[in-house]
Amino acid sequence: MAELILVRHGQANSHATDEASYDKLSDLGHEQARWLGEHMRTTNPHFDRVITGTLRRQKETAAGMGYADTQVDARLDELQYWAMAAALEAEHGVPSPQDPTEFAAHLPQMIEHWAAGTVKSVPEPFSAFYARTTGLIEEVCEGHGRVLLVTSGGVIGAIVRHVLGLNDTGMAKVMLQVMNSSVHRLEYVHDTLMLGSFNATPHLDIPGREHARTFV
């Protein structure tokens, strides 16, 4: 049996306006990662493998949790949101969001166009993104043991879509709900990949940490 623990990175630079400036943890993001690592050390700290994407915020989260010696796999990298939003605005006149409320309305539109192939000048087609994320999961499931994968919200959304057979709208809704430093557990049993838990934040369910339950 393979057990996969997916973790979204801690809060990144939420005031960023491009991919490069977003790709680092905020002070709170570092704290979220440290708290999650402390929780794991008091529960079940052992992993047979720890894998992150190539992104700084993913690596910083794993290191903050106490897992600095990791494998790196670009298939865990996030979709390039700002480039895709710019393409959607240029090609379809959908304005880029200016605040979290607008983002919640914008993301489903972007996913719909991206998955349908109706926005062209994107860094990566949806089919390629979906194939790389689900391909990695299927590859990990060929082995055994407990594997930690530190990644991003869009990747987690695609994997949950794959496991539960969701449509594009369902995937977008999942992505909007994935909290920073949240934990998602998958189990591969009897040749079937199943979702054991979604969006858990036990390290934040402590009085005084309410402020640390963030989405962006």
What does the buried/exposed string (b/e) look like for 113-148 if buried means 16 or more CB atoms within 10 Å of the residue's CB?
bbbeeebeebeeebeebbebbbebbeebbeeeebbb
Helices 100-116 and 168-177: angle between axes, nearest 10 degrees: 150
Asked if the structure places residue 51 within a domain, the reply is yes
Q: Is residue 139 part of a domain?
A: no
Residue 109, pLDDT score: 96
Cα–Cα distance, 201 to 191 (Å, whole number): 28
Would strands 49-52 and 145-151 be described as parallel, antiparallel, or unpaired?
parallel
- Closest CA relative to residue 8, chosen from 62, 47, 49, 48: 62
Confidence at residue 17, expressed as pLDDT on a 0 to 100 scale = 80
Q: Which residues in the chain come in under a pLDDT of 70?
A: none
Cα dihedral 146/36/185/113 (nearest 10) = -120
Residue-level pLDDT at 212 = 97
State the amino acid at position 212 in one-letter form. A
Q: How far apart are CA 166 and CA 36, in angstroms?
A: 28
Distance CA 137, CA 193 (A): 9
Helices (H) and strands (E) in the chain, counts: 8, 6
Asked whether residue 96 is domain-assigned, the answer is no
Q: Is residue 67 part of a domain?
A: yes
Write down the residue that tokens 């623990």 correspond to.
5
Please report whether residue 68 resides in a domain. Answer: yes
Torsions phi, psi of 151, nearest 5?
Answer: -145, -145
Task: Look at residue 12 and tell me if it is in a domain.
Answer: yes
In a domain, 104, yes or no: no
CB 162 within 8 A of CB 105: no
Range of the domain at 185: 7-77+145-157+179-204
DSSP-derived secondary structure letter, 186: E
CB atoms within 10 A of CB 19: 15
The total number of structural domains that make up the chain: 1
Domain of residue 29, CATH code: 3.40.50.1240
Residues 6+ apart with CB under 8 A from 7: 36, 61, 65, 148, 149, 150, 151, 181, 182, 183, 184
Amino acid 126 reads F
pLDDT of residue 133: 98
In a domain, 110, yes or no: no
Q: Residue 92's pLDDT is what?
A: 97
The pLDDT of residue 173: 96
